[in-house]
Every structure is written in C-alpha cells, then in structure tokens.
Amino acid sequence: MKSVFVSFLCLVAVLVVTVSAIGPSKPLTCEQTQFLVKACLDFVTDKTSAPSISCCQGLNEVIVFSPTKEERLFVCKCLKEERSQIPNLDLGRTKSLPKLCNLSKTLDCDR
C-alpha cells in the first residue's frame, strides 16, 4: 500500500511539472520572429524555387506562437519593418508561403 501511495505522489509531481511547463508562453520578440523566418530568405528573394522545410517549420512556429490578434499584429509589424531591409524581396512569393508550406493558418499581415 505504501509503494502505491509513493507512486501516486510521483505521478502527481510529474503532472504538476508538466502542466506548469506547458503554461502560457511569452509573446515572440522581433528577434525571435526574424530568426524563425530567416530560412525563408532564399525563397522570397528568388534564390530557390521552393521554400525549405526549415522555412515552413519556422513560419508555422511564428503562427503557432502568435495566437492572439495583438501578437499577430506585433509579428506583422516586425516582419514589415524587416522586409524594408531585404533587397530583391518578392512580395508575391512571401504571400504564397502559407499555401506552399501547407499551413492551415496564416498571419494575414495585409489586414
């Protein structure tokens, strides 16, 4: 009986640690956003014919970690500021990324 109780306490401790680790995350910073989409630069500047897997994964992470309208607006602002620094940026390719990466959600920075 004692070993069952100890096992139960261990299980509760693991659950508490897991739930606290999954808790609310902090919004992305501009630097984090830029880092996550950096792999997309070759595609959006016409250096490659398709976005890389790391580009799509990074874009997906930006979308997942920006669930609220305020967070999406902030991320869009960061990306718009960054794109002014990128020579030869093809906005058409930028807008096609969610579809080419098979992402069900987008940031929709044009709104």
pTM reported for the whole predicted model: 0.73
pLDDT (tens place) for every residue of the chain, 111 residues total:
555 333 433 343 333 333 334 444 788 999 999 999 999 999 999 999 999 999 999 999 999 999 999 999 999 999 999 998 999 999 999 999 999 999 998 888 876
The span from the CA of 13 to the CA of 37, in Å, is 37
What structural domains and CATH numbers belong to the chain? 27-100 (1.10.110.10)
Rounded Cα distance, 95 and 6, in Å: 55
Reported as a single tens digit per residue, the pLDDT across 58-89 is 999 999 999 999 999 999 999 999 998 999 99
Say what the pLDDT of residue 7 is. 42
